Amino acid sequence: MSNHLQEVRMQVRIHRDTKAWQLQVWVSFLLAAFVCGVGLAYLPGRDLDRAFMFMGYMFCLSAAFVLAKFVRDNERARLEKRDADTPLFRLVVWGGFFLAMALTAWGLMRMEVNETYKAYLGVSWLYLITCTFTLAKTLRDAHEADIDEARNRE
């Protein structure tokens, strides 16, 4: 481990989230997934639209988790003064996230359903993405706090 990283670790303690915060994050994420599911289950129209939106939600969900990890890993690499990922992988991660969001938005906008349904699906989708980033951060913080505590016991 580099001296710079050791200095940073000595100066900054890893923050452990409270149980209340962790509960709130999980409840919010599960609620977001539930409201997305309800929106898709009761979506009037064609099964093809429902399937497209389901795939779009899953694509966005996985892309958001990958992006959250990518950003966090690159921040750690920056602190350690090393390269984390190649420029092509950076393009794949950011491109995948924006492509997932753009295609899902496009599919939502082109659907021939009432504007109220579109608004519900759009808001629940954005709620899911926001909760995904928060959940990813909370899980990563807990993991890093566990690692930090294990190192301090050595």
Low-confidence ranges of the chain (pLDDT < 70): 1-13, 154
Please list the alpha-helical segments (H only) found in 2-114.
3-11, 19-41, 47-79, 87-110
Predicted local distance difference test score (pLDDT) of residue 13:
65
pLDDT at 93: 95
pLDDT of residue 2: 56
- The pLDDT, as a whole number, for residue 74 is 86
Report how far residue 48's alpha carbon sits from residue 107's, in angstroms, rounded to the nearest whole number.
11
The answer for residues whose C-beta is within 8 angstroms of residue 143's C-beta and 6 or more apart is none
* The pLDDT of residue 11: 53
**For residues 90 and 96, what is the distance between their CA atoms, to the nearest angstrom?**
10
Task: Kindly report, residue by residue over 35-48, the tens digit of the pLDDT.
Answer: 999 999 998 888 88
Encoding tokens for residue 7? 């200095």
